[in-house]
Structure 1
């Protein structure tokens, strides 16, 4: 589908080029991180990180970490945890806009002289003379269409499936002084297409509350602290474990309480949530899903910088417990070619160490997943002993105007033995929608019973244009276990060998202007001989996203 006419696209592209040629002055960096300076940067430096994805590696940036900050619209001042895209503060990545709109700080627009955008009057609306009570509006409309030659390796829908989705997320952030904040966000979404499939509550949604919470904040025991009560997004976890359900139309939202405390070099976040039941057919009928629970604790440390030669490496260390309870298809297991339904309660004990220097970036993490599985209609429980390892690292040639990043990524997700009727379950699961493009654009392969190895190349030849190339090779971690999709195990019979296939893929991000982004993804899933013989099909995949935000 075409989103804009050719003449309109040329006009938008010209506007982006004009903006990219201008000089950009960053806010005083003292508001972003301690012991830093204000600086002026030519806009030839990448600006497509206005809406960054999660993860410290592969961003279209960078000469220094300071230049990762957008000139206006930024995260709140969390000290050492505001570096890079701010993900380490626990509220998701923030560029000019954030994955969570309430993580953006527009208070600088009290100064009318800093307003330089037609939407700025909506970002800070003073409601009293002292401007201590103020309102900020946010919005997103996303148009997404995608084509699949062989959906889910030929097991779903029809060959040549094409789908289209639109979603609207519009919110208001009311600040009642320095210590009380109310945030609300509405959502509606729809989808359609030809030879389509799977139009469930994650794709279609009549108008409802996506988020609605109250936040109480202040200083406690020397820390910037807060409590958040209500329905909210939650992004304080590695994005390869838990993210925001970006691929469909309706993002995840959680109901419960969250508390955080941030000191100069350590922060603590504790939370207890239940899921949200999505009622796609009725307005304002979403309620709590008491069968899905997420709770845990995250401690993040900002250790002293490390020097290697002339370069300084800034890093963060996450130590976390992420516990969850799920039922239905997300909890099902395989046993002797049968799918067993039940309830799974699992605990992830893990770490992640990640950081960057001007020419080097890395992320390495591991976790142990314990817990139990109880089959429906019985009281028989089986223990869970699973684990995962994730790492990505690479070199960025900062002097080059193309800002090339060249690295490698390896991921290991344990598998079990589906022939076993009892004993421990060894298959790792990640039921809450890890970031799509971390592993594979097509989403045909889930992080269960999987070994993935991929080169990564990213270039940003223009400040508003960035390209990334990956080619993950997939193997089964245990040949006595199945291949898993994002929703269930594939039922391929007589599957032999460990090699699953290779998926060369590319993405292109175009920052048309401050509010319009166009991202395209293309991939080809090439099935292995063993998978092809078992019925798995190769196929091409294309996805386009045209997004308006303010």
Structure 2
């Protein structure tokens, strides 16, 4: 079976790339001209036949050259999934469609003059994946995200036709290991995407312009990245950009088979101009130190991560932290029942009058890490979430969960997504924020089509009520198709 140029088995770090407009124009043209055959193909004997590739969230990881084999079942449209060009090269075209109808009666708990709303968000993606020879890949993806009838449209809701990804990748053996390199505009995410994500939940995904390089040897992986996060201009086409006023650079090390799982750690420097928090503003520089361990033994699984943040903002120093864990126990019953417990905590500012800012920066967090409703963010909070997941069939999953939230300190505000704070909450009220009920169902129709539904009810505490907030309800109905 031919394998794609994929990451390490637990690798969720996506590509990053440099944003040069003339360079991207060339990539789009080249993607329609060239092709690639994945490196490191396994020998396929006459008694075995590879499966068709799965449709992945990251389409650049798919490898469609298995379609050259007569034994692989063919479908309508396969003539565009595998277009051989020259020896060891091919071009693959693909598309994604995601439609989600949402009802949200009190976004931001009604404190930001957000009226009850029902609307459709739509994401369309088209890509061309060129594999050239044994080592080279050129990938280009366009995105068009729209929000129809939504009363308050943000940059995470809408991004009219633009370049989502455009990168060149190289993979080759080196000293008994594997060298990987990528340059261009691409997405990047770490681990469970608590802090660094491709933002799959919201309608507009997060891209990065820069370079990314890795070396994998035995159970080790070493990587580095120099990026500028892409900033979205929601109302015009082909105008998303990255600038020196927002950068994210660092390096990371992963090691397999440590205490029964994978141990990873990374250092990054985050820089942003004109940052604003309730108790500080100015040029922000944060040095990030992150460590994570994940694994599974018998029926127990776990994923634990912690981050420290140090730096400066304006005239103040930064001292902030966050810690998170998701653990579960899976039964061997026919429905594969799993009992889960999620614990999260992130620091808030202890004293508005001192020279230190303790508010944790959410960075590029997944907006749907708690729920699709995304009512609260990952700053100044304590979060406890027990859950039950069952799978009546291989294609159907149900999840039910209760979430409980407090502030880490009452001196700081309650926070929404993107480091924005709720007015009239800093220094006011109690630590209790509120609780929510989450119900979700996922059904896979076939290898291309899936549907999902999620409902959330958030019961706010007195602090939010005193600030003008109300209980909130969310319903999302989603259809997703990939070709």
Q: Is the 8 A contact 1:151 1:158 kept in 2?
A: yes
Structure 2 Cα separation of the partners of residues 178 and 450 of structure 1 = 48
Deviations 1:31-74 (A, max 9, x none): 8xxxxxxxxxxxxxxxxxxxxxxxxxxxxxxxxxxxxxxxxxx7
Conserved 8 A contact 1:91-1:103: no
Question: What RMSD, in angstroms, separates the aligned Cα atoms of the two structures?
Answer: 2.2
Match of residue 278, structure 2, among 326, 330, 334: 334
Q: Does 1:192 align with 2:123?
A: no
Contact between 1:412 and 1:451, CA under 8 Å: does it hold in 2?
yes
- Structure 1 stretches of 4+ with a deviation exceeding 4 A read 74-78
Cα 1:233–1:118 change in 2 (3 A) is same
Task: Assess if the C-alpha contact under 8 Å between 1:413 and 1:451 holds in 2.
Answer: yes
TM-score (norm 2): 0.86
Q: Contact 1:275–1:290 (CA<8 Å) still a contact in 2?
A: no
After the TM superposition, which of the residue ranges 406-415 and 535-544 deviates more from structure 2?
535-544
The match for 1:371 is 311
1:492–1:173 Cα change, 3 Å: same
Displacement, 1:170? 0.9
Give the conservation status (yes or no) of the 8 Å contact 1:458–1:467: yes
2:256 aligned partner: 302
Q: Is residue 269 from structure 1 mapped to residue 213 from structure 2 by the alignment?
A: no
Shift of 1:332: 1.1
Q: Which has the higher helix share?
A: 1
The number of equivalent residue pairs is 444
Structure 2 contact 367–417 (Cα < 8 Å) conserved: no
Q: For structure 1, which segment, 275-284 or 466-475, has the greater mean C-alpha deviation from structure 2 after superposition?
A: 275-284
Matched, 1:115 2:38: no
SS of the residue aligned with 1:191? strand
Residue number in structure 2 paired with 1:227: 181
Listed as ranges, the gaps of 5+ residues in structure 2 are 16-52
Q: TM-score, normalised by structure 1?
A: 0.76
Task: Return the match for 2:440 from 502, 507, 532.
Answer: 507
Match of 2:301 in 1: 361
Given candidates 140, 145, 156, the residue that maps to 2:112 is 156
The 1:393/1:237 distance shift into structure 2, 3 A limit, reads closer
Q: What residue is the counterpart of 1:320 in the other structure?
A: 266
Task: Report deviation, 1:513.
Answer: 1.4
Q: Is the 8 A contact 2:359 2:379 kept in 1?
A: yes
> Is the contact between residue 201 and residue 250 of structure 1 (CA under 8 Å) also seen in structure 2?
yes
Residue 207 (structure 2) pairs with residue 253 (structure 1): yes
User: Contact (CA 8 Å) 1:88, 1:316: kept in 2 or not?
Assistant: no
State the secondary structure of the residue aligned to 1:531: helix
Structure 1 residue 383 and structure 2 residue 317: aligned? yes
Query: Of residues 380, 399, 420 in structure 2, which corresponds to 1:468?
Result: 399
Q: Give the SS at the match of 2:80.
A: helix
SS of residue paired to 1:109: helix
Instruction: Report the equivalent of 1:64.
Output: none
1:478 CA displacement: 0.8
Structure 2 CA distance for aligned equivalents of residues 201 and 485 of structure 1: 15
Aligned counterparts of 2:338 and 2:249: Cα–Cα separation in 1: 36
Q: 1:540 aligns with which of 462, 466, 473?
A: 473
